[in-house]
Structure 1
Amino acid sequence: MGSRLAARRLLRSNSVRLGLLLFALVTFFDTLRLQNRIARHDLVPHAFDTPRKHERVYIAALHYNDAPLLRQQWNPALLALVERLGRANVFVNVHESGSWDDTKAALAELDAELEVRGVPRSVITSNVTHQDELEANRPAQGAGLPEGWIVPSKGAKPEMRRIPFLANLRNSALRDLDDLHEKGFKFDKVLFLNDVLFTPEDALTLLDTNRGVYAAACSLDFSDPPLFYDTFALRDANGHAHLTPTWPYFRATASRNAVLAHADAVPVTSCWNGIVAMPAAPFTSPIESKRLRFRAIPDSLAQLHLEASECCLIHADNPLSADLGVYLNPRVRVGYNVMAYAATHPGPGRSWLSGWAIGRGRTVNRLLGWFTSTRFTDRRVDDRLAQWKAEEQDRDEPGRACLINEAHFLAPNGWMHL
């Protein structure tokens, strides 16, 4: 009772009231300033009204059960992007495997259209399903485990890991890059396109992130905005996972401040998030064994109930990451459905974030930054990593920031995690 009375007296104090009023006014005008900044910076640069510089781009994509997306948006957007980049300046590589909808037919339509336009490409489809992969590789009872399989817990049946499977698929989409390079066809950038709604302007803006100087530049992806989607691969400038799933996302000061500035180059340790642009050079090193490729963490480390995204590890392995930087570009927002894309693109001159989202986001982010810590989750991962290193000499995992306390496995109709 006494504490409540003291609180009431405090609130009645003129100085406290004045302080609260000033805080509210500062927050209000700061929110308006941030909204205006976002709206202003989101305007499409005038540079896109002129022919783009002649940069050669290798476009790589994977598709799985995406027929509606392909026909309604992805195919037309890709064709328009090819025209903007120049038909002679691109190579399109699309891989599909195991879809049970009309994805193969939709990709055949894309292939035919690229053929008519004379665009160099490779569109590959496969009838091998996840179930086929599991049955073909499942170890016999009593036999040793093949690479990419682990036993999740004592007494459990062997399971096929999802990340090595995905890494192999992504590497398949890079094979033509090797072949073309050896034949003398050089590319400046590799553009990875996920199964997202995007426009040519989105991709061009991303390619121009930080004036084109980066080890990697990523869009920001949404399925249910304002929550961003790819939490598995995104790490802030200090290697931490997101602090909040909504704006301004990050714990690290450098990352958070760049988001508040709505900069086109938010420094991060890792990202993927829908569309990614990377220099082609690391993928085409003259020394074949040093060519950058997607990978998973070793099975022996995954056995300790740890996992890491292949799309995070690629940045840990990229020799350019330290010097050129990895950046998230929040001005490039893509969606996994029409509603998500529309919600993050309200139109020229308007901020996609409401005043409430900005005010609440800053307050929640600030409070969580003050009163929470990553110490417990970090220690759990660090202890398992230390155990793994101690089991055998010369073990190392450069992708420490990517590790999480989960296990991901392939399932007949997708994937599961434990």
Structure 2
Amino acid sequence: MAAQLLVLADILGSDRVFVSIYENGSTDRTKAILRELRNTLGILAIPHEIVTDSKPRKASDHRIEYMAELRNRALDPLYRQALRYNRVVFLNDVFFCLPDIFELLHQSRVHSAHLTCAEDFETQHGALAFYDTWVSRDILGHAFKSRYQEIAQDGNALVSQLYNRPFQVQCCWNGLAVIDARVFEGPAAIRFRRSAPKECSASECSLLCNDLWAAGYKRAVVVPRQHAIN
């Protein structure tokens, strides 16, 4: 992942990229790897903010509230209004290839999308299965299915999936998302959050989609050709 990020920054240009990473609670070599990455970014003069934290997750912490806080910490440079960028490329812990990010950035521009997602997969019984069924919803509001060619109930989505064409959805995340940076700026900046008392329980990414729609950011697009692997 670090190697791909460095190549991405080199191709786009250091004056057009900011790398923001927030890590906490790791018990492996993650902190050491991030220190090496921080040093490399400094040598290459690529703007960055890499925060490593030893604060563990408490047993009493609400999982979604905790995850929302982590994602918001990664977005701190935007929330502080210290940066002005067009798009945020948000990565989960997935394997990805550099062309996938460029294609998502391209499709985000072509469709003037506020949220553009790849499709993420895992292996089930020797075959690839769509992973993020908890968050992804087709334009009819139905959850995605794990089977690749039967991924949605929306007919337009099914045809688009078959021919590898981007299609409109109500919500997506799928491990790799490109987001219009404007949604995180200004006094009405959207933040990741947990469900309010009278809301149905949902992922912080699902709630982000709902908040985007409520704020008028309704162009959410899935790009079937671009894959991320869990």
After superposition, the C-alpha distances for 1:41-81 in whole angstroms (9 at most, x for unaligned) are xxxxxxxxxxxxxxxxxxxxxxxxxxxxxxxxx11011111
Aligned counterpart, 1:197: 95
Residue 216 of structure 1: which of 105, 108, 115 is its match? 115
Question: C-alpha distance in 1, partners of 2:21/2:145?
Answer: 34
Runs of 4+ in 1 over 3 A off after TM superposition: none
Aligned residues: 224
Aligned-residue offset at 1:307: 2.1
Question: C-alpha distance in 1, partners of 2:121/2:44?
Answer: 32
Aligned counterpart, 2:204: 310
Instruction: Name the one with the larger helix percent.
Output: 1
Residue 162 of structure 1: which of 32, 53, 63 is its match? 63
Structure 2 residue 48 is the aligned partner of structure 1 residue 121: yes
Structure 1 unaligned blocks of 5 or more: 1-73, 139-159, 337-418
Question: C-alpha distance in 1, partners of 2:157/2:216?
Answer: 19
After superposition, the C-alpha distances for 1:109-161 in whole angstroms (9 at most, x for unaligned) are 1111101101110101111122xx23xxx4xxxxxxxxxxxxxxxxxxxxx42
Residue 104 of structure 2: which of 206, 209, 219 is its match? 206
Contact 2:130 2:145 in 1 (8 A): no
Aligned-residue offset at 1:223: 2.0
Instruction: Name the one with the larger strand percent.
Output: 2
Structure 2 unaligned blocks of 5 or more: none
> Which is bigger in relative contact order (C-alpha 8 A, separation at least 6)?
2
Where 2:191 maps in the other structure, the secondary structure is coil
Structure 2 residue 99 is the aligned partner of structure 1 residue 174: no
Residue 228 of structure 2: which of 306, 309, 334 is its match? 334
- When normalised by structure 2's length, the TM-score is 0.91
Aligned counterpart, 1:377: none
Residue 93 of structure 1: which of 5, 9, 20 is its match? 20
Contact 1:294 1:313 in 2 (8 A): yes
Partner amino acid, structure 1, of 2:226: V
Where 1:314 maps in the other structure, the secondary structure is helix
Where 2:15 maps in the other structure, the secondary structure is helix
Aligned counterpart, 2:9: 82
Question: C-alpha distance in 2, partners of 1:122/1:110?
Answer: 11
After superposition, the C-alpha distances for 1:179-238 in whole angstroms (9 at most, x for unaligned) are 3x3x5x421111101111112211010111151510100011112142011111110111
After superposition, the C-alpha distances for 1:291-315 in whole angstroms (9 at most, x for unaligned) are 11111112x347xxx5211111111
Aligned-residue offset at 1:174: 1.1
Aligned counterpart, 1:365: none
Aligned counterpart, 1:383: none
Question: C-alpha distance in 2, partners of 1:93/1:262?
Answer: 31
Q: Percent identity?
A: 32
Question: C-alpha distance in 2, partners of 1:276/1:297?
Answer: 21
Aligned counterpart, 1:261: 163
Contact 1:84 1:200 in 2 (8 A): no
Contact 1:237 1:254 in 2 (8 A): no
Contact 1:226 1:247 in 2 (8 A): no
Aligned counterpart, 1:240: 142
Equivalences for residues 354-365 of structure 1 within 5 A: none
Aligned-residue offset at 1:247: 2.2
- When normalised by structure 1's length, the TM-score is 0.51
Structure 2 residue 154 is the aligned partner of structure 1 residue 252: yes
Where 2:18 maps in the other structure, the secondary structure is strand
Aligned-residue offset at 1:94: 0.3
Note the aligned Cα RMSD (angstroms): 1.6
Question: C-alpha distance in 2, partners of 1:168/1:118?
Answer: 28
Aligned-residue offset at 1:320: 4.1
Where 1:125 maps in the other structure, the secondary structure is strand
Structure 2 residue 37 is the aligned partner of structure 1 residue 110: yes
